[in-house]
Amino acid sequence: MIKTAYISIGSNLGDKLGNCTKAADLIDRIPCCKVMAKSDFYRTEPVEMESSEWFVNVVISLSVQLSAHDLLKSLLQIETALGRERGKICAPRTIDLDILIFGQDIIDERGLTVPHPLMHLRRFVLIPIAQLDPDLNHPVIGETMAELLEKVPENGQAVIPLRER
């Protein structure tokens, strides 16, 4: 069965824009996945992190013929290939790949929670996903991405459009 998945891509170490672009290209090469759309890139203020380094963030939509678990496994392999070192939560990272939405599936298992449990509180996710599909319904909350975005305060969550190279 074909599903539409939305993936958040972020980086705040090294060539941030390059890291995000490479990640999107590698995701497009995952068997049974095809990138359908990509939001603009954004420079974003770190949220709940020790780092003062701002992020570059983008959201992509995928046509997927894999399970959410298989997609996650592939995303983790891409993170490793791009130099992501896991250790402290909320630490700076070369790349961060998160499944935001996977069709209308609701998954709450060890190691995989979909929809992403914090996406409705984060402007760096909601602005790009709303750019792609403002009427996309959050499977748990039951509101659209545009409606959720209206509720999130801007204070401490600056999101600035970034031009590609």
pLDDT value of position 164:
56
Q: Has residue 3 got a pLDDT over 80?
A: yes
Collapsed DSSP state (helix, strand, coil) of residue 56: strand
Which of 40, 84, 108, 135 is an active site residue?
Answer: 84
β-strands 3-11, 96-102 pairing: antiparallel
Q: What is the mean pLDDT of residues 101-122?
A: 96
What pTM did the predictor assign? 0.95
Question: Is 93 a catalytic site residue?
Answer: yes
- pLDDT (tens digit, 9 = 90+) per residue, 113-148? 999 999 999 999 999 999 999 999 999 999 999 999
Catalytic, out of 25, 28, 70, 96? 96
pLDDT given for residue 165 in this prediction: 45
Q: What is the dihedral of CA 126, 108, 63, 138, to 10 degrees?
A: -40
Which residue among 25, 40, 93, 122 is the active-site one?
93
157, 124 Cβ separation under 8 angstroms: yes
Residue 165 appears among annotated catalytic residues: no
Catalytic residue of the set 98, 122, 123, 133: 98
**Residue 51 has what pLDDT?**
67
pLDDT of residue 80: 94
25 included as an active-site residue: no
Q: What is the mean pLDDT of the chain?
A: 94
Confidence of residue 23 (pLDDT cuts 50, 70, 90): very high
Active site residue 122: no
User: What is the tens place of the pLDDT at every residue in 32-46?
Assistant: 999 999 999 999 999
**pLDDT tens digits along 42-100:** 999 998 776 678 999 999 999 999 999 999 999 999 999 998 887 766 678 899 999 99
- Token representation of residue 101: 């939405």
Classify domain 3-162 at the CATH topology level: Alpha-Beta Plaits (3.30.70)
Reading the block at residue 16, the tokens are: 């941030």
